[in-house]
Structure 1
């Protein structure tokens, strides 16, 4: 081994130089490009494998693959989107008008969006909808556990599959890497179409462990859809004694916006299966209420940084109030700047974070932003009643977002995410009431708390901040 080490090092160094050039041409920020280039040149055996796994922030092949759908007649994206277009919001002055340019999906009217607070309400509603399914079920989760809750989901789906309901199930290959083969084979034997979302599919993605499909989607018969923060497992019902109460928020959607949710699912399914679900997804949406809403899918395959731009636009829209609940707060410079400017123009900002961490690096890195956020009108709160995992934003008195995206670099650049933005005073009022109850279970935090920490904690915060682009 020692005899061949110089030759092996030369090979590593050669390919590391190529990777360093690639980093200089493609890495998103100049700081990141310099960091990768220096590491690749100085430490080739260590840096090259890391660069292959974590070096890119664009997901290759997804958009190109989706173009294949529109070359076919059945269930093309254009056909799937046509019912949604017939119910789009046409009046001027709506606060949703800029977001459709980001996602290429129109804001729709006559929706009804219902808050589902915590796991019991969420899974009760999802299981009830599954029981009522007549034709098809589309389901996609980041994490699925083979525990009591996961088994209940499997049993409900198998029971419906036996009645002839077609079921299409996606799970993330990284997030659900512990999902047993027996769980999957049980479903397949029942006739359920179940696949992983292949984030490592394709030669250029083969070694990339950085991308995730973080979406949580359920659609039943094209009439009702669910999105939000919950994964599938007992912990999300508060049954993990090490975590305790799991505070999360989901929504149940009826109306034209359901079409947009199933369109996002169809794109993901096509990536994994290379075919659209073998069902007619073009049914006319069921009109259910008077809420204007837009579904906001985002991901690393898009040319624009849709998730980041969505957050920035929401912050810029705020005139009086901005409440943010996110389990992870590792924002990019654009979001930081938008929050600073909102503070200076008088917007009252509250940011709710968990007191108890589930990912230590992210938890520590969030403290590094307190200096930049130590401004008038910005207040931080730490949720004390278990772990707070919801992703909710309330803007003024009439605009609210619920979804899967955290305010961290992973959601902003590396994950496939989805959320729904609702422009409606009644819904915003319900979100306000929900968050007010959550703030009562928080204690106020901020820069002073950080300054009183030990030097070991502060050093840990600074070191964790270095990993913020990939955590």
Structure 2
């Protein structure tokens, strides 16, 4: 018994001291860990050992810095210039574009155009058609790549392209696409000459857990074709029926097809991941800067565990603070930190029409509970909340004042904020923003409005469960 008490004290004190020594933790996260360690000391210590530190290791961080330095040195002409913010962006929204540029060096570039895909079928058809028309290169990166119709059609299109001499590079996350990697479809691409790479591979999960975390993932969805076309949005290489979780189908996604100088920035973001995984040099990538008369300003924003902490929530908070009249956000996973939550409430209090659209049926019971714990505070601030009923709303969209739009892979949750590599495009254009707003209105038309009265009428056990989950939310 004495030995157990000594072991118990040693574990709790050791991990408590480690948490207290971490200057990068915000107080709510530190408090959440204290609660877990005291409530479940042995399990809590194991969970902290496996998931408490957000670090890919010194070697990965050093390589990432080297790659980014190389990109900034050799591709500066495609990253945009600091003065572009003042030249291209409305003064009201310059803080958001300047902040986005501070994350990984991409400034707004002019002369872009975008087309919103009507639905999942059109996304698949247009993507395959663009790949079939490629003449020089195709680069794709997906967090989830299944061997369903979407995934198979994409793979076969890459095989056809490789067979006619087009350079094809395909990359998939080691965890999200684990069913595809090493399978017949993956092997068929390799046999055809498609260059393959795995983002954050899991060759030895135990070693990964000892030196890093299994759940540090590459959540990006990037497609670049001939350096002239890129797709950006929430869609993985998977059918809307989403075979791994059919209970929540259809997955409702959004994708934009871009042309213009912003394509080169997305190319560079892909290149940074490819170089990290394969060791290839930037010289292997073709960079172009086609522009379109009357095109709009846009810039790429990429974030991840090797970038500075807090970058994504701070960008969201800046965009929210820049809103003058209206702000609409759709996201499947809403577990905000205090930065984003307070920014939303502050915007609503100062008269901005804040509208939030979440799925009614979420594939994560934990996330759903944490999300709903914030409803009362948001509704009391006069935010409007809608829960989408037509499947799992997976679209990640943000529109501001009918002029500014952010679209990509980032959710408003702590995984996107701290753990995942994400990619987004921030743009200023009334036409494109209005098109995305129309899609948001379509989501709202298929949703149920959530009222403060309904939230206050929730049973005590529901409210307690939601708040308990939210209390440990910072470490989920």
TM-score (norm 1): 0.89
Question: Does residue 1:272 correspond to 2:272, yes or no?
Answer: no
Q: What does 1:300-311 align with in structure 2 at a 5 Å threshold?
A: 300-311=305-316
Contact preservation (8 Å) 1:58, 1:414: no
Pairing partner for 1:386 from 385, 391, 411: 391
Query: How far did 1:404 drift?
Result: 0.7
Q: What does 1:202-213 align with in structure 2 at a 5 Å threshold?
A: 206-213=211-218
Q: What does 1:162-173 align with in structure 2 at a 5 Å threshold?
A: 162-173=163-174
Aligned to 1:195: 197
Q: Residues 237 and 121 from structure 1, CA distance in 2 versus in 1: closer, same or farther, beyond 3 angstroms?
A: farther
Question: Does residue 1:25 correspond to 2:27, yes or no?
Answer: no
Q: Could you tell me how far apart the structure 1 residues matched to 2:385 and 2:446 are?
A: 13
Q: What does 1:209-358 align with in structure 2 at a 5 Å threshold?
A: 209-235=214-240, 242-276=247-281, 279-287=284-292, 289-358=294-363
Q: Residues 136 and 88 from structure 1, CA distance in 2 versus in 1: closer, same or farther, beyond 3 angstroms?
A: farther
Pairing partner for 2:73 from 39, 54, 78: 78
Contact preservation (8 Å) 1:119, 1:237: no
Aligned to 1:55: 52
Aligned to 2:425: 420
Runs of 4+ in 1 over 4 A off after TM superposition: 5-18, 37-44, 86-90, 199-205, 236-241
Query: How far did 1:257 drift?
Result: 0.5
Q: Could you tell me how far apart the structure 1 residues matched to 2:245 and 2:366 are?
A: 21
Q: Residues 177 and 224 from structure 1, CA distance in 2 versus in 1: closer, same or farther, beyond 3 angstroms?
A: same
Q: Residues 90 and 317 from structure 1, CA distance in 2 versus in 1: closer, same or farther, beyond 3 angstroms?
A: closer
Find the residue that maps to 1:429 and give its secondary structure: helix
Q: Residues 39 and 304 from structure 1, CA distance in 2 versus in 1: closer, same or farther, beyond 3 angstroms?
A: closer
Q: Could you tell me how far apart the structure 2 residues matched to 1:240 and 1:204 are?
A: 26
Q: Give a deviation string over 1:113-140, Cα, whole Å, max 9, x none.
A: 2212431122222111111111111111
Contact preservation (8 Å) 1:115, 1:251: yes
Query: How far did 1:85 drift?
Result: 2.9
Q: Residues 295 and 427 from structure 1, CA distance in 2 versus in 1: closer, same or farther, beyond 3 angstroms?
A: same
Query: How far did 1:463 drift?
Result: 3.0
Contact preservation (8 Å) 1:167, 1:192: yes
Q: Could you tell me how far apart the structure 1 residues matched to 2:294 and 2:89 are?
A: 20
Aligned to 1:411: 416
Contact preservation (8 Å) 2:32, 2:472: no
Judge which range, 202-211 or 160-169, deviates more: 202-211
Query: How far did 1:210 drift?
Result: 2.9
Query: How far did 1:466 drift?
Result: 3.4
Judge which range, 368-377 or 237-246, deviates more: 237-246
Query: How far did 1:432 drift?
Result: 1.9
Aligned to 1:67: 65
**Structure with the bigger percentage of helix:** 2
Question: Does residue 1:150 correspond to 2:151, yes or no?
Answer: yes
Find the residue that maps to 1:330 and give its secondary structure: coil
Q: List gaps (5 residues or longer) in structure 1.
A: none
Query: How far did 1:374 drift?
Result: 2.3
Aligned to 1:46: 43
TM-score (norm 2): 0.88
Query: How far did 1:9 drift?
Result: 9.1
| Aligned CA-pair RMSD | 2.9
Q: Could you tell me how far apart the structure 2 residues matched to 1:21 and 1:371 are?
A: 35
Contact preservation (8 Å) 2:88, 2:297: no
Q: Could you tell me how far apart the structure 2 residues matched to 1:325 and 1:38 are?
A: 31
Contact preservation (8 Å) 1:255, 1:288: no
Query: How far did 1:60 drift?
Result: 3.6
Q: Residues 391 and 163 from structure 1, CA distance in 2 versus in 1: closer, same or farther, beyond 3 angstroms?
A: same
Judge which range, 199-208 or 407-416, deviates more: 199-208
